[in-house]
Chain A
Amino acid sequence: MSMSAARIGAVIRKELAEFRRNRFILATAAILPIVFLVSPTVSILAIKASAVSTVLEKRVETSLFLPLLIPVFVPALLSAYAVVGEREQGTLEPVLTTPVSAVEFLVGKAAAIFMPAVGISYLMFGVFVAITQFAARSAVATAVLHAPQLPAELVFIPLLAGWSIWVGLAISARATDTRVSQQLGTLASLPPVAVAALFSFQVISPTFAVAAALAAGLLVVDGLACFAVARVFDRERLITGTKPTSGTGQPRYRSRGAS
């Protein structure tokens, strides 16, 4: 059985409907982005006209880095809940009795988290840049608009979100408790943030070639992560909570696309 867009669509539709009615998720999706918008905005608007260029440069670097945390932390929290949350509320078993495959289920979950997370991230970035252009001093506005890391960061937003989502789903598929899953998922999302931080603070010079290479690498990782996570999505472990007995000679229902 090939991958079905209709089944993936069903999972996306259901996830988005649940997000809209889940106050925890709405709060997570609202508070974190607001914090990561307000803090750099205040920092930028507070720069005095007399500030020397090094101070201005440092503030711009920091201000452009903070919104990058939105596509990391928001999807990390949502994806960490995705599988273990279903298991805790008893909805996973009925879903797994339908023809939906592990890959379809996971792609649907990932897409449902990706769309709002990336949308909110771009929105916050856009709002931040717009505020600086309208409210900040002209030197500051110019510094933000022409910062060399700005275009690279716009490319990295979806890639970082992809990493956070797949890492979160992998952990969620193995964890037995939502809180543990969210803590581990957030921690595991940090390595690419470190790379992004090196960019933002210009420790790594954000040339087009370096940014493109890193983005391509992250894109490949995100693309393959779907199948890697499907490998750890073990129906038997998820349903029974026990590690399947190995060496039985019987094929197991785990990562095949159709099973």
Chain B
Amino acid sequence: MSAMSGSSASPTRAGPRRAAPAGPAAIEVSHLTKVFGSRTAVADVSFSVARGEVFGFLGPNGAGKTTTVRILGTLIAPTSGSAVVAGIPLGPARAAEIRQNISIMPEAPGLYRRLTVTENLEFFARLYGLPRRAERITEALAAVGLNDRAQDLAGSLSKGLRQRAALARTLLNDPAVMFLDEPTSGLDPVAAHDVHGLIGALRDRGVTIFLTTHRLDEAERLCDRVAIMNTSLRTIGRPDELRQELFSRSLAVTTAAPLARPDQVFAGLPAVQGWQTADQSADQSADRSAERSGGSAGSRPAGYVLTVSDPAQAAPAVTRALVAAGADVLSIAESRHSLEDVYLQLIDDTEGRTR
């Protein structure tokens, strides 16, 4: 706990993304399925999360994310499949042991509104049987920047502050694995930034974080790997790996005027696999821009998207070819797809198939 206490005063930025650490898994899920009546909430899901990894769990509403977290948190039993959490096999016999070693922050803060923030944390510290309760509570509150509201009734706090108090509660037992369901929901940008810093600090201490979020920018910034779920697991991997899997790599080239013979310019260049002009809407936008600046549509900038196998190899060759063809090059840049593009592509695929 002490290592994170500094994050409130000067929240550390989430560190650079690391590869999933090697070693024993903190969470190992095998063919997990959960059926409620006639509805399948989770279907044959398997994945593993390494110790000290920040693992993003993404998916639309009703995708089975919360159900998966509840299964791994021993709140509900799976219909079939198995899992190991914090090194302990999932099941009623060792459920309390798992709960002692993990913490879960549900989407709703779940604070006792008639108790003060400190009384709320004191209650949970006692349930965990923690020694040095006062010290731990102070550290947890400091970590989320809530020490000055410690004696306030939880019911008097704003939604964002309640969310922070709930986050402090999950820090109390120094868990090996933390399940955070939308931890920045309702937080202002500064508070969200602080929470990101806290997650980074926890990761640096080796805490495994299982992060459920709808904020794809947050997942992209914080997570070593992400899984995209829609009842079944759609994909899993590092965000940049997923981008590469789903989208071909490309270079966006803009010239001051359309090329007379683009086929000849781009053909045969190393690492260039194909090309096309930029889309129509971009052309129209460029037309308007050219007209506003007094130019004509004929002299408008032209855009080309080149499919490449290796942007680092292709870019110099493309530049040389354009210069050799007498083109005025305005820009050459690698097109980057966001995690949101990956997410939308996968979820659209799934929904398209089910329609």
Binding site for B on A (CB under 8 A): 1, 4, 6-7, 9-11, 13-14, 17-18, 21-22, 89-101, 235-236, 239-240, 242-245, 248-253, 256, 258-259
Contact = CB atoms under 8 A, between A and B. Distances in A.
Contacts of B77: 236, 244, 248, 250-253
B128 interface: yes
Interface residues of B, number: 42
Nearest to A100: B127
26 contacts: A1-B96, A4-B129, A10-B123, A10-B126, A11-B127, A13-B126, A18-B114, A18-B115, A90-B108, A91-B112, A92-B110, A93-B110, A94-B106, A94-B169, A97-B75, A97-B106, A98-B99, A99-B99, A99-B127, A101-B96, A248-B79, A248-B80, A250-B80, A251-B77, A252-B92, A253-B74
B123 A97 contact: no
Contact of B79 (A22, A89, A245, A256): A245
Contact of A236 (B35, B76, B111, B169): B76
A238 to B, nearest CB: 9
Given A97-B99, A242-B36, A18 B112 contact: yes
A95 B75 contact: no
Contacts of A93: 75, 104, 106, 108, 110
Given A94-B106, A248-B79, A239 B128 contact: no
Given A89-B110, A258-B96, 12 more contacts: A14-B115, A14-B123, A93-B110, A94-B166, A98-B124, A98-B127, A99-B96, A99-B97, A235-B76, A236-B76, A245-B79, A253-B77
Interface in B122-150: 123-124, 126-129
B78 interface: yes
B99 A250 contact: no
Interface string B224-254: 0000000000000000000000000000000
B67 to A, nearest CB: 8
A22 B37 CA distance: 38
A236 B74 CA distance: 9
B95 interface: yes
